[in-house]
């Protein structure tokens, strides 16, 4: 055999191995699908909790005699609980694992729903709402991180976007049944996805990247084998994880202050910036008090809620499909542009209504504005910041970075949620002009700062951002 023939055989062997690895990376197994479904049961709990305050407002205020300020506290204290949960989410997820953290969060979620269902006064009502908020604050970090760590790179964005899809499913369910079910029974309905996740968590694997970080290489490979299939060759992926962890272990241990090093600046600015944009755009206020917005605009809130329930799931499904076809960056730009336009429509609608102009059309404009805003949010801005957050931070700072970014999200969510009703009372048109301005600034920020991460490995994305300013 000649040297050229040997070389051709070697090249053919390398190409065969490469093709085999590509096939392994492109495979979506039943274990990956089931593990994603189990984890996003927590996202469904999140959606139920977010939708509850809108549809239960009339019943709770009537039965317990709550004022606007008291109900604003009840609605917004969930986001305050989320802020507290965010502080602990990263450390807990690294200490007891991604699965253990989801079990931990469900203790608070179940306790919260029970406290709300049997509340006799505002103390138990607020305590239950705070408890569910703490749970969803933990969920908001651990679920996208877990999904990103178990899924193949070519479908990672779509699978993490299932987080937003299931939140939309929870919202839609509550927007529909909230018009017919008493608020106490509605709280008990929220226990169903909680118990479903508690049971099914026993049957999914732990994150292989976390096992690699813990130095449990054998279990890391076993987890990868389960996720990629019995006949898959996981050696390359396992070695990449091991090498990455070894590289990070050579450096000093991560602290929160380490995030403010120059090398992590791009990731930190992108992560925190997207979370601030998500909340300061007014999304939390509209989601939590959508009935108040419809009433303010003269559109029947029960009909508006039903319309939202019908369109939210298809819109989220569209986002799930487009995230891997269009990419993160174009979808973020399209989503934010839609939110910007709809905020402007709502600003003009409330302005016309305050001057007694176009009284027959302003309710229609209100409906178009609200439905359009939430649809645009569901397609991109609702889920993409969490996808990107789960992708851009290296494992050695992921705990500190994820905690900080999630804390920023929930902190501003609480501010917006608490102030929202008061802002509507102050000046509804001015409120949405503020949101319009923030969305317009967000378009510039996304265009200038946010990279495309579609189809790239986590290690490649993190290395490119870490080296960006070197």
The reported pTM is 0.76
Low-confidence ranges of the chain (pLDDT < 70): 1-26, 246-259, 395-396, 458-459, 462, 465-470
CB 86 within 8 A of CB 140: yes
Q: Which residue has the tokens 């109900």?
A: 71
Rg (CA), the chain: 23
CA distances from 294 to 142, 214, 289, 311 (A): 34, 50, 9, 16
CA distances from 415 to 135, 289, 409 (A): 19, 14, 10
CA distances from 443 to 160, 335, 372, 447 (A): 23, 9, 17, 6
CA distance 5 to 290: 71
Which one, of 416, 380, 389, lies nearest residue 146 by Cα?
A: 389
Handedness of CA 330, 410, 188, 147 (dihedral sign): positive
Burial of 426 from C-beta contacts in 10 A (0-12 / 13-18 / 19+):
exposed
Which pLDDT score is estimated for 3?
A: 44
Which pLDDT score is estimated for 5?
A: 52
Burial of 30 from C-beta contacts in 10 A (0-12 / 13-18 / 19+):
exposed
Q: What is the DSSP string of 213-252?
A: HTT-HHHHHHHHHHHH-TT---HHHHHHHHHHHHHHHHSP
Angle at 160 between CA 195 and CA 239, to 5 degrees: 105
Which one, of 441, 44, 121, lies nearest residue 281 by Cα?
A: 441
Which pLDDT score is estimated for 300?
A: 86
Look at phi and psi of residue 450 and say left if phi exceeds 0, alpha if psi is from -120 to 50, else beta: beta
CB 336 within 8 A of CB 382: no
CB 400 within 8 A of CB 293: no
CA distance 464 to 353: 51
Look at phi and psi of residue 356 and say left if phi exceeds 0, alpha if psi is from -120 to 50, else beta: left
Query: Would you tell me how many other CB atoms lie within 10 Å of the CB of residue 313?
Result: 17
| H and E: helices and strands count for the chain | 20, 0
Long-range contacts of 191-194 (CB under 8 A, 24+ apart): 191/110, 191/113, 191/114, 193/41, 193/42, 193/44, 193/45, 193/48, 194/41, 194/45, 194/106, 194/109, 194/110, 194/113
CB 221 within 8 A of CB 238: yes
The full 3-state SS of 83-137, as one line of letters, equals: HHHHHHHHHHHHHHHHHHHHHHHHHHHHHHHHHHHCCCCHHHHHHHHHHHHHHHH
């Amino acid at each position: 055999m000649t040297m050229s023939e040997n070389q051709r055989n070697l090249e053919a062997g390398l190409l065969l191995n490469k093709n085999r690895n590509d096939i392994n990376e492109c495979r979506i197994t039943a274990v990956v699908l089931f593990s994603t479904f189990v984890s996003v049961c927590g996202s469904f709990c999140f959606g139920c909790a977010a939708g509850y305050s809108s549809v239960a407002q009339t019943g709770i205020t009537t039965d317990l005699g709550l004022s606007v300020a008291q109900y604003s506290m009840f609605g917004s204290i969930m986001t305050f609980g989320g802020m507290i949960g965010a502080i602990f989410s990263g450390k807990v997820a690294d200490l007891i694992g991604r699965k253990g953290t989801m079990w931990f969060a469900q203790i608070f979620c179940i306790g919260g729903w029970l406290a709300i269902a049997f509340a006799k006064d505002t103390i138990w009502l607020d305590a239950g709402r705070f408890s569910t908020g703490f749970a969803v604050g933990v969920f908001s970090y651990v679920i996208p991180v877990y999904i990103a760590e178990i899924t193949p790179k070519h479908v990672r964005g779509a699978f993490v976007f299932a987080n937003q899809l299931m939140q939309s499913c929870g919202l839609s369910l509550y927007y529909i049944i909230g018009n017919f079910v008493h608020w106490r029974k509605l709280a008990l309905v929220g226990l169903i996805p909680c118990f479903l996740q508690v049971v099914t968590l026993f049957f999914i694997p732990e994150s292989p990247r976390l096992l690699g970080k813990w130095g449990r290489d054998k279990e890391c490979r076993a987890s990868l084998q389960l996720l990629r299939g019995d006949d898959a060759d996981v050696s390359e992926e396992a070695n990449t994880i091991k090498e990455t962890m070894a590289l990070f272990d050579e450096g000093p241990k991560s602290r929160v202050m380490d995030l403010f090093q120059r090398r992590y600046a791009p990731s930190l600015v992108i992560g925190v910036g997207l979370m601030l944009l998500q909340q300061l755009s007014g999304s939390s206020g509209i989601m939590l008090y959508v009935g108040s917005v419809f009433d303010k605009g003269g559109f029947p809130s029960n009909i508006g809620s039903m319309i939202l329930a019908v369109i939210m799931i298809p819109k989220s499904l569209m986002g799930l499909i487009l995230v891997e076809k269009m990419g993160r960056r174009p979808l973020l730009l399209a989503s934010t542009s839609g939110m910007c336009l709809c905020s402007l429509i709502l600003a003009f609608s409330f302005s016309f209504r305050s001057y007694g102009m176009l009284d027959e059309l302003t309710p229609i404009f209100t409906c178009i504005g609200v439905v359009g805003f939430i649809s645009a949010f569901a397609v991109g801005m609702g889920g993409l910041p969490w996808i990107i957050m789960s992708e851009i931070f290296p494992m050695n700072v992921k705990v500190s970075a994820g905690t900080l970014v999630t804390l920023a999200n929930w902190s501003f969510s609480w501010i917006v949620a608490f102030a929202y009703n008061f802002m509507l009372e102050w000046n509804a048109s001015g409120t949405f002009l503020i949101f319009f301005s923030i969305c317009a600034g967000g378009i510039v920020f996304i265009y200038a700062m946010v990279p495309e991460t579609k189809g790239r490995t986590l290690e490649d994305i993190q290395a490119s951002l870490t080296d960006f300013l070197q």
